[in-house]
Protein backbone atom coordinates (compact mmCIF):
# COMPACT_ATOMS: atom_id res chain seq x y z
CA UNK A 1 0.00 0.00 0.00
CA UNK A 2 1.08 3.58 -0.57
CA UNK A 3 -0.04 5.42 2.53
CA UNK A 4 3.48 5.60 3.92
CA UNK A 5 4.83 7.17 0.75
CA UNK A 6 4.84 10.89 0.13
CA UNK A 7 3.79 11.82 -3.36
CA UNK A 8 3.88 15.25 -4.95
CA UNK A 9 0.33 16.39 -5.70
CA UNK A 10 1.45 17.75 -9.07
CA UNK A 11 4.71 17.77 -11.07
CA UNK A 12 5.24 21.38 -9.95
CA UNK A 13 5.59 20.18 -6.38
CA UNK A 14 8.26 17.56 -6.93
CA UNK A 15 11.12 19.76 -5.82
CA UNK A 16 13.74 18.63 -8.32
CA UNK A 17 16.39 20.68 -6.47
CA UNK A 18 16.57 17.89 -3.91
CA UNK A 19 17.39 15.44 -6.71
CA UNK A 20 19.81 17.33 -8.92
CA UNK A 21 22.53 19.72 -7.73
CA UNK A 22 22.51 23.41 -8.55
CA UNK A 23 25.17 23.04 -11.21
CA UNK A 24 23.25 20.33 -13.06
CA UNK A 25 21.09 20.84 -16.19
CA UNK A 26 18.41 21.95 -13.72
CA UNK A 27 20.21 25.31 -13.81
CA UNK A 28 19.22 25.63 -17.48
CA UNK A 29 15.57 25.23 -16.54
CA UNK A 30 15.47 21.58 -17.56
CA UNK A 31 13.24 18.86 -16.14
CA UNK A 32 13.80 15.11 -16.30
CA UNK A 33 13.35 13.82 -19.84
CA UNK A 34 14.28 10.15 -19.49
CA UNK A 35 12.34 7.92 -17.09
CA UNK A 36 13.33 4.37 -16.22
CA UNK A 37 10.25 2.67 -14.79
CA UNK A 38 11.13 -0.10 -12.33
CA UNK A 39 14.80 0.84 -12.58
CA UNK A 40 15.94 -1.87 -10.18
CA UNK A 41 19.59 -1.35 -9.24
CA UNK A 42 20.02 1.50 -11.70
CA UNK A 43 22.34 0.01 -14.34
CA UNK A 44 20.63 1.77 -17.25
CA UNK A 45 20.70 5.21 -15.63
CA UNK A 46 24.33 4.86 -14.62
CA UNK A 47 25.25 3.89 -18.18
CA UNK A 48 23.24 6.64 -19.86
CA UNK A 49 24.14 9.50 -17.47
CA UNK A 50 27.59 10.30 -18.95
CA UNK A 51 26.35 9.70 -22.52
CA UNK A 52 23.71 12.45 -22.16
CA UNK A 53 25.26 14.86 -19.65
CA UNK A 54 22.82 17.66 -20.43
CA UNK A 55 19.71 15.50 -20.06
CA UNK A 56 18.09 14.93 -16.67
CA UNK A 57 17.10 11.32 -15.97
CA UNK A 58 14.98 9.74 -13.26
CA UNK A 59 14.57 6.16 -12.13
CA UNK A 60 11.38 5.01 -10.41
CA UNK A 61 11.58 2.01 -8.14
CA UNK A 62 8.98 0.71 -5.71
CA UNK A 63 11.24 -1.31 -3.39
CA UNK A 64 12.63 0.91 -0.69
CA UNK A 65 15.97 -0.87 -0.17
CA UNK A 66 16.56 -0.98 -3.91
CA UNK A 67 15.79 2.70 -4.47
CA UNK A 68 18.02 3.54 -1.48
CA UNK A 69 20.79 1.48 -3.03
CA UNK A 70 20.48 3.43 -6.30
CA UNK A 71 20.50 6.73 -4.41
CA UNK A 72 23.70 5.74 -2.60
CA UNK A 73 25.23 4.50 -5.82
CA UNK A 74 24.57 7.82 -7.57
CA UNK A 75 25.86 9.79 -4.60
CA UNK A 76 29.09 7.81 -4.57
CA UNK A 77 29.55 8.37 -8.31
CA UNK A 78 28.94 12.10 -7.90
CA UNK A 79 31.67 12.27 -5.28
CA UNK A 80 34.05 10.19 -7.39
CA UNK A 81 33.43 12.30 -10.51
CA UNK A 82 33.38 15.72 -8.86
CA UNK A 83 36.86 16.77 -9.88
CA UNK A 84 36.62 18.20 -13.39
CA UNK A 85 40.39 18.48 -13.69
CA UNK A 86 40.72 14.71 -13.35
CA UNK A 87 40.81 13.14 -16.83
CA UNK A 88 38.93 10.09 -15.46
CA UNK A 89 35.93 12.27 -14.56
CA UNK A 90 33.02 11.53 -16.86
CA UNK A 91 30.86 14.26 -18.47
CA UNK A 92 28.02 15.43 -16.26
CA UNK A 93 29.53 13.91 -13.15
CA UNK A 94 26.28 11.95 -12.55
CA UNK A 95 24.56 15.16 -11.47
CA UNK A 96 21.97 14.57 -14.17
CA UNK A 97 20.64 11.32 -12.73
CA UNK A 98 18.43 10.53 -9.74
CA UNK A 99 15.88 8.07 -8.40
CA UNK A 100 12.57 8.17 -6.54
CA UNK A 101 10.90 5.48 -4.55
CA UNK A 102 7.50 5.40 -6.19
CA UNK A 103 4.76 3.20 -7.50
CA UNK A 104 4.96 4.18 -11.15
CA UNK A 105 1.70 2.42 -11.90
CA UNK A 106 -0.17 4.86 -9.73
CA UNK A 107 1.78 8.07 -9.62
CA UNK A 108 3.59 8.70 -12.89
CA UNK A 109 1.54 11.83 -13.74
CA UNK A 110 2.32 13.23 -10.27
CA UNK A 111 5.96 13.45 -11.30
CA UNK A 112 5.86 14.32 -15.00
CA UNK A 113 3.77 16.89 -16.79
CA UNK A 114 2.25 16.51 -20.21
CA UNK A 115 4.88 15.84 -22.91
CA UNK A 116 7.77 16.23 -20.46
CA UNK A 117 9.53 12.98 -21.40
CA UNK A 118 11.43 12.09 -24.55
CA UNK A 119 12.23 8.52 -23.49
CA UNK A 120 10.50 5.99 -21.32
CA UNK A 121 12.13 2.68 -20.41
CA UNK A 122 10.53 -0.58 -19.28
CA UNK A 123 13.40 -2.99 -18.94
CA UNK A 124 12.73 -6.54 -17.87
CA UNK A 125 9.51 -5.67 -16.05
CA UNK A 126 8.02 -8.19 -13.64
CA UNK A 127 6.23 -10.77 -15.82
CA UNK A 128 3.25 -11.62 -13.56
CA UNK A 129 2.84 -14.90 -15.37
CA UNK A 130 -0.57 -16.00 -14.15
CA UNK A 131 -3.60 -14.75 -16.09
CA UNK A 132 -5.28 -13.41 -12.96
CA UNK A 133 -2.17 -11.33 -12.28
CA UNK A 134 -2.02 -9.76 -15.73
CA UNK A 135 -3.76 -6.66 -14.45
CA UNK A 136 -0.65 -6.00 -12.37
CA UNK A 137 1.47 -5.77 -15.50
CA UNK A 138 3.10 -2.40 -16.06
CA UNK A 139 1.68 -2.27 -19.60
CA UNK A 140 -2.10 -2.01 -19.86
CA UNK A 141 -4.54 0.16 -21.82
CA UNK A 142 -5.12 2.52 -18.89
CA UNK A 143 -1.44 2.92 -18.20
CA UNK A 144 -0.63 3.41 -21.88
CA UNK A 145 -2.84 6.50 -21.81
CA UNK A 146 -0.67 7.85 -19.00
CA UNK A 147 2.55 6.97 -20.81
CA UNK A 148 1.24 8.75 -23.93
CA UNK A 149 0.40 11.77 -21.79
CA UNK A 150 3.85 12.19 -20.25
CA UNK A 151 5.72 11.39 -23.50
CA UNK A 152 6.11 14.09 -26.11
CA UNK A 153 5.20 13.40 -29.72
CA UNK A 154 8.26 11.78 -31.30
CA UNK A 155 9.31 10.35 -27.93
CA UNK A 156 10.33 6.70 -27.71
CA UNK A 157 9.30 3.88 -25.40
CA UNK A 158 11.84 1.08 -25.04
CA UNK A 159 10.70 -2.31 -23.75
CA UNK A 160 12.75 -5.45 -23.33
CA UNK A 161 12.06 -8.77 -21.63
CA UNK A 162 13.22 -12.35 -21.64
CA UNK A 163 9.62 -13.57 -21.28
CA UNK A 164 8.14 -14.16 -24.72
CA UNK A 165 4.56 -14.09 -23.50
CA UNK A 166 5.11 -10.71 -21.82
CA UNK A 167 6.82 -9.39 -24.97
CA UNK A 168 3.81 -10.35 -27.06
CA UNK A 169 1.49 -8.82 -24.49
CA UNK A 170 3.36 -5.50 -24.52
CA UNK A 171 3.51 -5.40 -28.33
CA UNK A 172 -0.20 -6.17 -28.63
CA UNK A 173 -1.19 -3.39 -26.23
CA UNK A 174 1.08 -0.78 -27.79
CA UNK A 175 -0.12 -1.69 -31.29
CA UNK A 176 -3.74 -1.38 -30.23
CA UNK A 177 -3.19 2.01 -28.64
CA UNK A 178 -3.78 4.85 -31.11
CA UNK A 179 -0.95 7.12 -29.92
CA UNK A 180 1.93 4.69 -30.46
CA UNK A 181 3.50 3.19 -33.53
CA UNK A 182 6.18 0.50 -33.61
CA UNK A 183 9.68 1.58 -34.55
CA UNK A 184 12.25 -1.03 -35.48
CA UNK A 185 15.78 -1.25 -34.24
CA UNK A 186 17.29 -0.43 -37.64
CA UNK A 187 15.38 2.86 -37.81
CA UNK A 188 16.42 3.80 -34.28
CA UNK A 189 20.05 3.04 -35.09
CA UNK A 190 19.85 5.23 -38.20
CA UNK A 191 18.40 7.99 -36.05
CA UNK A 192 21.43 7.77 -33.78
CA UNK A 193 20.07 5.71 -30.89
CA UNK A 194 22.50 2.80 -31.17
CA UNK A 195 24.08 3.51 -27.78
CA UNK A 196 20.68 3.58 -26.12
CA UNK A 197 19.66 0.23 -27.59
CA UNK A 198 22.98 -1.21 -26.53
CA UNK A 199 22.39 0.05 -22.97
CA UNK A 200 18.82 -1.27 -22.97
CA UNK A 201 20.12 -4.73 -23.90
CA UNK A 202 23.15 -4.99 -21.67
CA UNK A 203 23.42 -2.37 -18.92
CA UNK A 204 20.85 -3.50 -16.36
CA UNK A 205 21.33 -6.06 -13.64
CA UNK A 206 18.41 -8.12 -14.92
CA UNK A 207 19.72 -7.96 -18.48
CA UNK A 208 23.09 -9.23 -17.27
CA UNK A 209 21.43 -12.07 -15.42
CA UNK A 210 19.54 -13.10 -18.55
CA UNK A 211 22.84 -13.02 -20.41
CA UNK A 212 24.53 -15.29 -17.85
CA UNK A 213 21.64 -17.74 -18.17
CA UNK A 214 21.84 -17.49 -21.96
CA UNK A 215 18.20 -16.41 -22.13
CA UNK A 216 16.55 -14.65 -25.06
CA UNK A 217 15.95 -10.90 -25.07
CA UNK A 218 12.94 -9.51 -26.88
CA UNK A 219 13.22 -5.80 -27.67
CA UNK A 220 10.22 -3.72 -28.76
CA UNK A 221 10.21 0.06 -29.25
CA UNK A 222 7.39 2.45 -29.97
CA UNK A 223 7.14 6.06 -31.03
CA UNK A 224 4.64 8.45 -29.54
CA UNK A 225 2.81 9.95 -32.54
CA UNK A 226 1.31 13.43 -32.74
CA UNK A 227 -1.90 13.98 -30.83
CA UNK A 228 -4.86 13.01 -32.93
CA UNK A 229 -6.89 15.96 -34.22
CA UNK A 230 -10.34 16.50 -32.79
CA UNK A 231 -13.01 15.39 -35.25
N1 LIG B 1 14.79 -2.67 -14.91
C2 LIG B 1 15.65 -3.35 -13.96
C3 LIG B 1 16.62 -4.25 -14.68
O4 LIG B 1 16.46 -4.46 -15.89
O5 LIG B 1 17.53 -4.76 -14.01
C6 LIG B 1 14.84 -4.14 -12.91
C7 LIG B 1 14.01 -5.29 -13.42
S8 LIG B 1 13.12 -6.11 -12.11
C9 LIG B 1 12.68 -7.63 -12.80
C10 LIG B 1 11.60 -5.20 -12.05
C11 LIG B 1 11.68 -4.01 -11.10
O12 LIG B 1 10.50 -3.24 -11.17
C13 LIG B 1 11.85 -4.41 -9.66
O14 LIG B 1 12.96 -3.74 -9.11
C15 LIG B 1 10.55 -3.95 -9.01
O16 LIG B 1 10.70 -3.59 -7.65
C17 LIG B 1 10.15 -2.79 -9.88
N18 LIG B 1 8.72 -2.47 -9.89
C19 LIG B 1 7.70 -3.34 -10.00
N20 LIG B 1 6.52 -2.70 -10.00
C21 LIG B 1 6.80 -1.37 -9.90
C22 LIG B 1 6.00 -0.20 -9.82
N23 LIG B 1 4.66 -0.27 -9.87
N24 LIG B 1 6.62 0.99 -9.72
C25 LIG B 1 7.96 1.06 -9.65
N26 LIG B 1 8.77 -0.01 -9.71
C27 LIG B 1 8.21 -1.22 -9.83
What is the SS3 string spanning 187-210? HHHHCCCHHHHHHHHHCCHHHHHH
First to last CA, the chain: 41
Closest residue to atom 2 of ligand 1, CA basis: 40
Catalytic residue among 126, 165, 216, 227: 126
The answer to whether residues 201 and 210 touch, using CB atoms and an 8 Å cutoff, is: no
Q: Which atom of ligand 1 is nearest to the CA of 105?
A: 23
Query: Could you confirm whether 126 is annotated as catalytic?
Result: yes
Q: What is the CATH number of domain 11-224?
A: 3.40.50.150
Measured by CA distance, the residue closest to atom 19 of ligand 1 is 38
ipTM summary value: 0.99
pLDDT: is 86 or 71 the higher one?
Answer: 71
**Positive/negative CA dihedral, 25, 29, 35, 38:** positive
Q: Which atom of ligand 1 is nearest to the CA of 66?
A: 14
With a Cβ cut-off of 6 Å, ligand 1 is lined by: 38-40, 43, 60-63, 66, 103-105, 123-126, 204-207
Residue 70: is its pLDDT beyond 90? Answer: yes
Best residue among 40, 107, 128, 219 to mutate for probing ligand 1, ranked by most atoms within 8 Å of CB:
40
Going from N- to C-terminal start, the domains of the chain cover 11-224
Residue 133 or 211, more confident: 211
Is residue 91 pLDDT above 70, yes or no?
A: yes
For residues 29 and 201, give the distance between their C-alpha atoms in angstroms, rounded to a whole number.
Answer: 31
Residue 84 has pLDDT above 90, yes or no: no
**Average pLDDT in the 93-120 region?**
96
Does the pLDDT at position 231 exceed 80?
Answer: no
Q: Which atom of ligand 1 is the closest one to the Cα of 36? A: 1
pLDDT of residue 212: 96
Give tens-digit pLDDT for 135-154: 888 888 889 999 999 999 99
Burial 20-57 (b: 16+ CB within 10 A, else e): bbeebbbeeeebbbbbbbbbbbbbbbbbbbbebbebbb
pTM comes to: 0.95
How far apart are the CA of 19 and the centre of ligand 1, in A? Answer: 20
Question: What is the predicted pLDDT for the residue at 168?
Answer: 96
Q: Does the pLDDT of residue 12 top 90, yes or no?
A: yes
Sheet holding 97-101, edge to edge: 97-101, 57-61, 34-37, 117-123, 151-161, 218-224, 180-182
**Ligand 1, pocket-test mutation among 1, 38, 167, most atoms within 8 A of CB:** 38
Amino acid sequence: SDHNLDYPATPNEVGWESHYPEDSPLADGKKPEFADVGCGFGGLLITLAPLFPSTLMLGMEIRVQVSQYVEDRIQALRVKHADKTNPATLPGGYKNVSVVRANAMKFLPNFFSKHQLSKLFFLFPDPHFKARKHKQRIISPTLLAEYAYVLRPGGIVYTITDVKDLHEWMVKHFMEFPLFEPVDEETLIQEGHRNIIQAVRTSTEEGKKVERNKGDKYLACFRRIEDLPWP
